[in-house]
């Protein structure tokens, strides 16, 4: 084991452990990382893939202010150590056939020699980290500014990031949002197929333009909403708003009172434009699938 060294840096709210790092085979989570760290890994922790393991690792490194590197990274095993070669920090994860996922097999979360030796480039400016972490802490829309990202990262990770890094991630995420939205529209037929299988009593209906397959409108009424409505006072309120996405579209909604007299969402539709055709599409499906009787009062 490498000798522990003293640190006098006041940049860190970290005190070096006075005891040896916990044994690598300890079955319980270890809490030897500094208090400002929001992330940690422990033996037995499971991940769906090495990609999600790596993403959690990166978040840990950022929130706890250390640099890590992969000593080994293949489809069976990942070995992560500290960028400081003398440091004892180590995490190993292996693919486990039994769980069809990745499990942490060794976790030595204590840093011994590296603390206080300030790194030149803080991990918080790492673009890979930001691309994953920023969408989790805020919604990046077309009007988001780099300063808003800087403030959010400061709030969640207690680290000041560079304006340049914030600017870059905003640009990439805005671009990605657009592509993601287009991709989401392409997945709608699949979504409808899956939902019809999972929620057999619900109503999922996609209308596309014949020939071009261009999206026109989608109608959704889950069975849970429908049964809630059937057991409630027969009243429906219809309204519309615009989606807040990069491709703003009319969102038509039908709400009803639930048995507790709270407002419940009964059905909704997204259409390419708000006009008589889309409202007719919405109301016809609503009447066909959701409204069993003719004495319902509808407010528009
Ligand atoms: Zn270290």
- Residues 170, 75: one domain? no
Ligand 1 centroid vs 55 CA: distance in angstroms? 18
- Residues 149, 222: one domain? no
Q: In this structure, what token pair is assigned to residue 8? A: 């006098």
Residue 291 to residue 170: CA distance in whole angstroms: 45
The secondary structure of residue 22, as a DSSP letter, is P
* Per-residue pLDDT at 237 exceeds 80: yes
Among candidate residues 151, 186, 221, the one where a domain is terminated: 186
- Residues 162, 236: one domain? no
- Residues 126, 42: one domain? no
Ligand 1 centroid vs 82 CA: distance in angstroms? 5
Structural domain of residue 202, as residue ranges? 188-299
Among candidate residues 81, 97, 120, the one where a domain is terminated: 120
What is the number of structural domains in the chain? Answer: 3
Ligand 1 centroid vs 152 CA: distance in angstroms? 26
Ligand 1 centroid vs 87 CA: distance in angstroms? 5
The answer to whether the CB of 135 falls within 8 A of the CB of 124 is no
* Per-residue pLDDT at 232 exceeds 90: no
Ligand 1 centroid vs 44 CA: distance in angstroms? 22
pLDDT of residue 86: 83
Ligand 1 centroid vs 117 CA: distance in angstroms? 10
Q: In this structure, what token pair is assigned to residue 292? A: 């069993």
Q: Which residues contact 263 (CB under 8 A, 6 or more apart)?
A: 255, 256, 257
Percent of the chain with pLDDT over 90: 40
Percent of the chain with pLDDT over 70: 81
> Which of 25-34, 187-196, 245-254, 287-296 has the highest average model confidence (pLDDT)?
187-196
Mean pLDDT computed over every residue of the chain = 81
Ligand 1 centroid vs 106 CA: distance in angstroms? 15
Ligand 1 centroid vs 298 CA: distance in angstroms? 64
Residue 95 to residue 298: CA distance in whole angstroms: 56
Ligand 1 centroid vs 89 CA: distance in angstroms? 5
The stretch 57-69 carries a mean pLDDT of 84
The confidence band for 295, taking pLDDT boundaries of 50, 70 and 90, is low
pTM of the model: 0.49
Ligand 1 centroid vs 88 CA: distance in angstroms? 6
pLDDT of residue 80: 95
Among candidate residues 160, 186, 212, the one where a domain is terminated: 186
In tens, the pLDDT along 240-253 reads 998 877 778 899 99
In tens, the pLDDT along 72-124 reads 999 999 999 988 888 889 999 999 999 999 999 999 988 887 764 545 456 77
The answer to whether the CB of 240 falls within 8 A of the CB of 251 is yes
* Per-residue pLDDT at 204 exceeds 50: yes
The C-alpha angle 53, 55, 56, rounded to 5 degrees, equals 65
pLDDT of residue 121: 53
Ligand 1 centroid vs 64 CA: distance in angstroms? 10
Ligand 1 centroid vs 112 CA: distance in angstroms? 6
* Per-residue pLDDT at 219 exceeds 70: yes
In tens, the pLDDT along 9-41 reads 333 333 333 333 333 333 333 334 444 566 689
Ligand 1 centroid vs 50 CA: distance in angstroms? 22
- Residues 280, 202: one domain? yes
Ligand 1 centroid vs 81 CA: distance in angstroms? 8
């Amino acid at each position: 084991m490498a000798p522990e060294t003293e640190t006098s840096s006041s940049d860190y709210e970290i005190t070096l452990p006075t005891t040896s790092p916990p044994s690598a085979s300890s079955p319980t989570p270890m809490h030897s990382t500094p208090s400002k760290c929001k992330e940690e890994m422990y033996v037995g922790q499971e991940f769906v893939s090495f990609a999600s393991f790596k993403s959690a690792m990166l978040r840990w490194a950022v929130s706890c202010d250390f640099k890590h590197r992969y000593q080994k990274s293949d489809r069976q095993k990942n070995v992560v150590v500290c960028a400081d070669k003398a440091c004892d920090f180590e995490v190993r994860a292996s693919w486990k056939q039994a769980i069809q996922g990745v499990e942490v097999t060794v976790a030595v979360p204590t840093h011994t020699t590296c603390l206080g030796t300030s790194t030149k480039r803080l991990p918080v400016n790492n673009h890979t980290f930001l691309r994953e972490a920023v969408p989790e802490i805020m919604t990046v829309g077309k009007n988001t500014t780099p300063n808003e990202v800087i403030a959010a990262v400061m709030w969640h990770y207690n680290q000041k990031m560079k304006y340049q890094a914030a600017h870059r991630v905003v640009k990439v995420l805005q671009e990605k949002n657009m592509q993601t939205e287009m991709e989401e529209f392409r997945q709608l037929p699949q979504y409808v197929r899956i939902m019809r299988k999972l929620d057999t009593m619900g109503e999922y209906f996609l209308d596309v333009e014949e020939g071009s397959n261009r999206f026109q409108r989608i109608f959704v009424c889950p069975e849970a909403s429908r049964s809630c409505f059937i057991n409630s006072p027969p009243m429906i309120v219809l309204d519309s708003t615009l989606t807040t996405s990069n491709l703003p579209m009319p969102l038509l909604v039908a709400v009803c009172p639930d048995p507790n007299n709270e407002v419940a969402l009964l059905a909704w539709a997204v259409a390419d434009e708000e006009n008589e055709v889309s409202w007719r599409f919405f109301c016809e499906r609503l009447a066909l699938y959701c409204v069993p009787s003719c004495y319902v009062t509808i407010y528009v």
